[in-house]
Amino acid sequence: MTKGRLLALIAAIGLLLGALVYGSFSVVQTQCDLCVEYHGTRTCRTGSGVDEEEAQRAAQRAACAVMAFGMSESINCERTIPTNVQCR
């Protein structure tokens, strides 16, 4: 491999890594703390996303993951109205 090709390869890898790091920091803009009560159990979790809707959905999915067992219960839990939501 010639010196020019090696430098071009290193530059390309550097640009790719820079784009990945920049993209990972710029995506999360909103965080929400959310509590869900399902089958008598209340669980609170935090979710992040590009907007409030996505952050709430992530928080509810995380809360339901520890309370619901199976696909049907997970879907029902994720459709439950949260008892508390605070976004920032």
Quick one: pLDDT at residue 7?
79
Give the Å distances, CA to CA, from 60 to 66, 70, 72: 10, 16, 15
Q: What is the pLDDT of residues 33-81, one digit of tens each?
A: 999 999 999 999 999 999 999 999 999 999 999 999 999 999 999 999 9
Query: Tokens 């590009």, residue?
Result: 50
Mean pLDDT of 18-31: 75
Q: Map out the domains of the chain as residue ranges.
A: 30-87
**pTM of the predicted protein model:** 0.70
Query: Tokens 């996505």, residue?
Result: 54
Identify whether the C-beta of residue 88 lies closer than 8 Å to the C-beta of residue 53.
Answer: no
List strand residue ranges (DSSP E) for the chain, in order.
Answer: 30-38, 41-49, 84-87
Residue 16 has pLDDT above 90, yes or no: no
